[in-house]
Amino acid sequence: MAVTQKFGMSILEFEVLEFCDPENCIAVEQRYIDQHPRRLLYNTNPIAGSRRGSKLSKEQRKLLSERHGGISSASDLEKIISDYAEGASQTELAAKYGVNRSSIRNYLTREGAPMRPRPGKNNDLRLMLIHQYQDNKTARELATMHKLDLETVIRILGHAGVRVRSQSERQKLRFELPGQRRKISIAKGGRIFHFIHRVHGRFSGHLFEFAKEFGIKNSGTLSQLASGKRLVYLGWELTSADCVHSWKRPKVREYLRGDRHHSYGRGASPETKRLMSLRRRKLTPDQISQIIMRIAHGEKQTALALEYGVHQTVISRIHTKARGYASL
């Protein structure tokens, strides 16, 4: 190639050596390559139709690396080797330089860096992962702890014969472990509450710890107590961390009824509901009358629903005169 670049293509002489079928071209080319010394061949590839066996110069490797988005900077390559020697994993280096892990491994092998054993071949790491996973550590926690891919951890556990927990089992485990529950509570904005009871005294902690400690299952009512919407629940009251609590027993416990209830008047009137029902109807009055007659003659509601393009519950309400069809 260097000769043609220097003197041009005119110095080459072309000659037909043999005619063959297209499917035999590679085999014929390989026969002629094998018959001549390598130093006399213009084609530097020792195998016809393949790059295997050919060696690239540093400049060629640099051009190929730049063309395919690899790392060509000598300073970056030196930094990769030094970081790997200091304990950085191939996964971390791949994420840092924007390449895949196999590229990092190829750089290290090519430069002769001392390679650490692969995670799957490291017996000490494998035994440690098995022991920690059986101690209820999650695969994601192990991946973060040992600087590995999640898929690598799962693959090592699977090859070792360890049954990897399913998603439902992982969720159940997360809610059984107090540390995991506390982490979830904090991540979702959960905070520590302070409660007081005549018998049990004070308690401070997250809601799930409070519920588990005293066997409280109604989480909705407990949330109302924590938010201040409910003053007392099962004898517990919400208080602050530092205040001196004084018990407050109301003289008269009043339950609001009728127009004194806080939700009175929020719903729509019957007339408004009737008008809303008329507006939302898909069926005309004539179609409704036909449906009533056909049901009286014994036709199935499901067949009528398919024919008129509505849900079967609409046909049932027309038949029973429920909701907005009561005035028919």
Residue 270, judged by CB atoms within 10 A of its CB (0-12, 13-18, 19+), counts as: exposed
Measured CA to CA, the distance from residue 87 to residue 311 in angstroms comes to 65
Measured CA to CA, the distance from residue 200 to residue 66 in angstroms comes to 70
* pLDDT, tens digit, 9 for 90 and up, residues 125-178: 888 888 888 877 778 888 888 877 788 888 888 888 888 777 666 666 655 566
* pLDDT, tens digit, 9 for 90 and up, residues 58-81: 666 666 665 555 666 777 777 888
Say which residue, 86 or 5, is predicted with more confidence: 86
Say which residue, 311 or 56, is predicted with more confidence: 311
The pLDDT value given to residue 116: 75
The answer to whether 313 touches 302, Cβ cutoff 8 Å, is no
- φ and ψ at 313, to 5 degrees? -65, -30
Residue 315 CA neighbour count, 13 Å, CB half: 20
Instruction: Tell me the one-letter amino acid at 7.
Output: F
Q: What is the dihedral of CA 188, 194, 196, 200, to 10 degrees?
A: 70
Measured CA to CA, the distance from residue 240 to residue 193 in angstroms comes to 8
Dig out the tokens for 31 from the structure: 């026969």
The pLDDT value given to residue 175: 58
* pLDDT, tens digit, 9 for 90 and up, residues 267-316: 777 777 777 777 777 888 888 889 999 999 999 999 998 998 888 888 89
On average, the pLDDT of the chain sits at 76
* pLDDT, tens digit, 9 for 90 and up, residues 39-50: 777 777 777 777
